[in-house]
Structure 1
């Protein structure tokens, strides 16, 4: 994409760390179903749990903690309650809403079919555009990213997405909202 950081030389995301309920099930899903190599495992000191790292491409990693005393997630608070296009996607401030993996546009439809073939429940394909609805069923020149969503065994929302065009100055056209603009209560 365009732009560039004039403050820090960042090379992308080193890793994003999530929390799982069952590390074996997580390994089976991320390595077995999604094909991400498991590249590092750590047994945390004092019985605190485990920390495993998966290669998700381009030198980036997706990591998971397993804590024996972690509380259960709460859909609609710690994660979205549904996939985009299928229900409520709001999650709490400070939560991880979803992880989007970049896939090549020319393999997008193939990957959709492949995940379905592996028994993964996927959302309909969403073609994101600048229309009032933000998505369309039609693929047209205004679509900037195509995506579909699915969940891991713990309900973490995942996305396969492919950019279809470069961004320019016209793509940054909205004023950022403030905390005072929120309508939700500050705490739950």
Structure 2
């Protein structure tokens, strides 16, 4: 069994909500091209709309339409380009890209299918632990396969397939703070150990108070 959430019983993503410029165009892409069932449609106060699409596993992708929403700002609200074709930086708090999990055995088939539907898809990218994080060819060290494309409003989308189960050895990079300085990573095991220690100390304190 892998790491688990000790605080909340989460069952994955309920829905992710994006903002579109044209809801009819959004339906045409996500339902008619991507094949996602449209499961809920709402007119909301203020003249807006809120539509939901089924993306499998009980999860949903939702879109708002607002009459007076600001125009899209590539490179700010979302990545300006697909990986491998340009800058993928986006602003703090933005949704850089949305990745859909697909079966490994159908991954390359799906790449061909979207291209045949007229979608501009990136080349297949195999991710590994090399300095570039991109493998020159498929090998046992590749942990996920990806390709990218964009939705009607420039939202960056991805189809991804895991090639193996992740393990403790995959958590080996210290995070950086706002200045780019690395901060030693506290492992889940250390956090669990500290929680056990805290619980023991609390128990001792309670026992001592009762004496």
The TM-score bracket by the shorter chain reads over 0.9
Equivalent position of 1:35 in the other structure: 35
1:167 and 2:197 are equivalent in the alignment: no
- Residues in 2 aligned to 1:164 and 1:149: alpha-carbon distance in whole angstroms: 17
TM-score, normalisation: structure 1: 0.94
Partner of 1:144: 143
RMSD: 1.1
Report how far residue 3 of structure 1 moved.
1.7
Larger Rg: 2
Partner of 1:13: 13
1:126-161 per-residue CA deviation (whole Å, 9 max, x = no partner) reads 000001110023110000000000000100000000
Q: Work out the CA distance in 2 between the residues paired with 1:66 and 1:170.
A: 43
Contact kept? 1:52, 1:65, Cα under 8 Å: yes
How far apart, CA to CA, are the structure 2 residues paired with 1:137 and 1:116? 22
Distance 2:46 2:103 in 1: 42
Q: TM-score, normalised by structure 2?
A: 0.84
Q: Which residue of 1 aligns with 2:79?
A: 80
Q: Is the 8 A contact 1:2 1:166 kept in 2?
A: no
Q: Structure 2: which 5+ residue stretches go unaligned?
A: 182-211
Stretches (4+) displaced over 4 A: none
Q: Which residue of 2 aligns with 1:56?
A: 55
Are the aligned partners of 1:79 and 1:92 in contact in 2 as well (CA < 8 Å)? yes
Partner Cα separation in structure 1 for residue 168 and residue 157 of structure 2: 28
Distance 1:18 1:2 in 2: 31
SS state of the match for residue 17, structure 1? strand
In structure 2, what is the equivalent of residue 111 of structure 1? 110
Ranked by relative contact order (alpha carbons within 8 Å, sequence separation 6 or more), the top structure is 1
In the alignment, the residues of structure 1 paired with residue 49 and residue 26 of structure 2 have an alpha-carbon distance, to the nearest angstrom, of 12
SS of the equivalent of 2:179 reads helix
* 2:44 paired residue number: 44
CA–CA separation in structure 1 for the residues paired with 2:150 and 2:3? 31
Alpha-carbon distance between aligned partners in 2 of 1:46 and 1:96, rounded to the nearest angstrom = 25
- Indicate if the aligned counterparts of 1:14 and 1:59 stay in contact, CA closer than 8 A: yes
Higher fraction of helix: 2
